[in-house]
Amino acid sequence: MQIMDEVSEELVRQTKRGVLLVLSGPSGVGKDTVMLQLMDKYPNMQKLVTTNSRPKRKEEKDGYDYYFVDRDEFEKLIAEEAFFEWVEYRGHYRGGQKKHVAEALESGKDVIWRIDVRGVKNIREKVKEMFPHSVFVLLAVGDLETLRQRMLDRESESTQDLEWSVDMAAWEQRQWHDFDYVVANEDGDIEKTVDNLAKIVEVTRMKVG
């Protein structure tokens, strides 16, 4: 009887348990599109709003696009070890705060955190320790020519930059061993990609611990 009570308690915990989905992948793989469709299909999912020290643009909303703070405040947060990771880019800091993940998960929300492949190795152990029900997923394609064509279609890069981006994408996909899952996002299969990610989240939610 006691065993059944414990199992029942675990099943109840599962219904209230938020999952942290750390999503990464090379440029052109479709991370933003997949993330938006995932949140649209599953309203319990929300993106992790990261913190940024640059000035807010007119069209941006504080707390939705980023949490905007000045440089001094960001450096104070660094000293307090408030971030899982942070980077300085073009003179401004940006990073994901631990408390923002914790607050969302404690409310039962699932959180999607989109980060660069290069940052995964540095934060994976810390994230897993703090949030056992977290999962790292690499979004990938089977053929780099698919990525090249997507980048060409965007018309946002010079030929030299394009070749650099393709080489970087090849390197990023070779880091697959830093992730729990690798999910394909091939052309025309975005619904399948979204469904696969949703299944991974549910499997992670049911992990005992």
CA–CA distance, 91 with 76 (Å, rounded to integer): 17
State residue 157's pLDDT score: 61
Q: Which residue has the tokens 């940024």?
A: 52
pTM for this entry: 0.84
> Tens of pLDDT along the chain (209 residues)?
566 667 677 666 666 789 999 999 988 888 999 999 999 999 999 999 999 999 999 899 999 899 999 999 999 999 999 999 898 988 999 999 999 999 999 888 999 999 989 889 889 999 999 999 999 999 998 877 777 777 777 666 666 677 777 888 888 989 999 999 999 998 878 999 999 999 999 999 988 66
Residue 159: its H or E element: helix 159-173
- Sorted by sequence, the CB contacts under 8 Å of residue 53 that are 6+ apart come out as 68, 69, 70, 71, 73, 74, 92, 93, 94
Which alpha helices (H) appear in 44-143, and where do they start and end? 71-79, 98-106, 117-130
State residue 110's pLDDT score: 96
Residue 93 in tokens: 């800091």
**Cβ(120)–Cβ(179) below 8 Å:** yes
Domains of the chain: 7-44+109-209 (3.40.50.300), 49-107 (3.30.63.10)
Interstrand relation of 92-97 and 51-52 (parallel, antiparallel or unpaired): antiparallel
User: Hey, CA dihedral for 53, 81, 112, 183, is it positive or negative?
Assistant: positive
**Cβ(157)–Cβ(28) below 8 Å:** no
Q: Reduce the secondary structure of 10-24 to three states and give it as a string.
A: HHHHHHHCCCEEEEE
State residue 96's pLDDT score: 92
Cα 4 from chain centroid (whole Å) = 36
List 182's β-bridge partners, or say none. Answer: 138
Interstrand relation of 134-140 and 51-52 (parallel, antiparallel or unpaired): unpaired
CA–CA distance, 102 with 66 (Å, rounded to integer): 17
